[in-house]
């Protein structure tokens, strides 16, 4: 199955192409922090470049996969609208995957130390993060303990504690993602290790989007693949609202 996958949940744009023989190609756009993300301007051209390099026509695609977040509102809207449009125009399958899982899966595949789990952390801005803890389970996937709302970085230690109570009892935690870089001091204080800033583990991998999509059932309707915002956009929030603070930091765990 030939799958085109991409993720636009963070400042970067990541695109991957998984070929029928299991090989993969990947492309990334990493603008400087002060530059505008290239989600809207670069996504399709990057995908076209990968197809050209592989010698594959758009019509040869079997599936398109997209990271659904959580992450940046505008980036998620661009990525998911593009994925829906391609699936409809090409009459191919559409799959949505967790952007947090995309980050964690690459780290889990990088030969983690025995007893080590992965904490994927995406910068939610406003001084908050989106986060989920993962531990390798079996060929079917990883165990996950996540949170349905953004967290203050101080709450990450609570997330790890609850993850341990939900069966993710790891001796060490490796924290990855742009949120892990921004709030390194909180994570290291909680006992987690954070790779250097230039590590590729902090960046979503489009090829991993494709790989995870291969384990999932395609959406029956385009609308089933929707952004995972985990909070309302600023324009929909009342000035007096402080979000969902005060709720328990972890609300779900699944195998």
Give CA 29 to chain center in angstroms: 16
In a domain, 37, yes or no: yes
Residue ranges making up the domain that contains 179: 100-202+245-254
249 and 147 in a common domain: yes
In a domain, 191, yes or no: yes
Counted domains in the chain: 2
In a domain, 240, yes or no: no
Residue 192 belongs to a domain with what CATH number? 3.30.420.40
In a domain, 77, yes or no: yes
186 and 120 in a common domain: yes
* Mean pLDDT, residues 48-73 taken together: 97
| Local structure of 115: helix, strand or coil | coil
* Mean pLDDT, residues 114-132 taken together: 92
Nearest to 147 by CA among 171, 179, 116, 170: 179
User: Residue 164 carries which DSSP code?
Assistant: H
pLDDT-derived band at 232 (thresholds 50, 70, 90) equals: low
Residue 98 clears pLDDT 90, i.e. is over it? yes
94 and 27 in a common domain: yes
175 and 127 in a common domain: yes
pLDDT-derived band at 165 (thresholds 50, 70, 90) equals: low
128 and 156 in a common domain: yes
pTM of the full predicted structure?
0.88
In a domain, 64, yes or no: yes
Residue 45 clears pLDDT 60, i.e. is over it? yes
């Amino acid at each position: 199955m030939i799958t085109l996958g991409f993720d636009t949940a963070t400042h970067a744009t990541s695109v991957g192409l998984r070929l029928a023989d299991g090989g993969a190609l990947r492309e990334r756009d990493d603008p400087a922090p002060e530059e505008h993300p290239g989600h809207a301007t670069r996504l399709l051209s990057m995908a076209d470049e990968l197809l050209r390099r592989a010698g594959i026509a758009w019509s040869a695609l079997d599936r398109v996969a997209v990271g659904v977040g959580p992450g940046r509102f505008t980036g998620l809207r661009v990525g998911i609208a593009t994925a829906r449009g391609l699936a409809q125009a090409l009459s191919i399958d559409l799959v949505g995957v967790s952007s947090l899982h995309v980050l964690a899966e690459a780290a889990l595949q990088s030969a983690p130390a025995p007893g080590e789990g992965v904490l994927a952390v995406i910068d939610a801005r406003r001084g908050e993060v989106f986060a989920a803890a993962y531990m390798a389970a079996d060929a079917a996937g990883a165990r996950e303990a996540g949170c349905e709302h953004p967290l203050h970085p101080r709450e990450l230690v609570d997330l790890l504690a609850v993850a341990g109570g939900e069966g993710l009892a790891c001796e060490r935690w490796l924290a990855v993602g742009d949120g892990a870089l921004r709030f390194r001091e909180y994570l290291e204080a909680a006992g987690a290790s954070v790779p250097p800033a230039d590590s590729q583990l902090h960046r979503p991998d489009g090829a991993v989007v494709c790989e995870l999509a291969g384990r999932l059932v395609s959406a029956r309707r385009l609308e089933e693949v929707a952004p995972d915002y985990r909070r309302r956009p600023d324009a929909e929030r009342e000035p007096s609202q402080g979000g969902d603070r005060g709720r328990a930091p972890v609300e779900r765990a699944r195998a």
